[in-house]
Amino acid sequence: MSMKKIAMGLVCVVTAAASTGCGDLVSGVNKIASGQICSLTANEIIALNGAAVQVGASQTPPLTIPAITTAQAQALADFFALNAICTAQDIEGLPARIEAGEELQGLDALAAAFGEDTIDPSNLDPTVLLNLLNQILGT
């Protein structure tokens, strides 16, 4: 078992009272580890984000990681699936895809969920999108 899975298991024990439960957290970690980010569900994204929020808050000094809503999690799940974002390398490659002029699907839903002050589909800043994804997933 990898150290990442052990660490996430410990986080799951600590957060066992969370409404999404450990199953979503464990399956979300497994999907990330096995290159299946594009098949994450909204509940798995919420569980991953919840764990990241709690781990961030326990740091010295604390790291503020925003908790996301169900609508935001669903927009992210759809965005990953629609754009075949399945691995960490796919996330890291988003700026190059945007700069190359690729039209990404699901940006309007992301803007609606996160606000156009965060995601502006008509003037997408690749760094802003990458930072948002990394912050939400705690990567």
The pLDDT > 90 percentage for the chain reads 45
| Predicted local confidence at residue 18, as pLDDT | 47
Asked if residues 37 and 85 have their Cβ atoms less than 8 Å apart, the reply is yes
Q: What is the pTM of this model?
A: 0.81
What is the residue range of 46's domain?
3-137
Give the number of domains in the chain.
Answer: 1
pLDDT of amino acid 123: 87
**Which residues of the chain fall short of a pLDDT of 70?**
1-21, 138-139
Q: What pLDDT was estimated at residue 117?
A: 84
Contact between 97 and 58 under an 8 Å Cβ cutoff? The reply is no
Distance CA 100, CA 68 (A): 29
Please provide the size of the chain in residues: 139
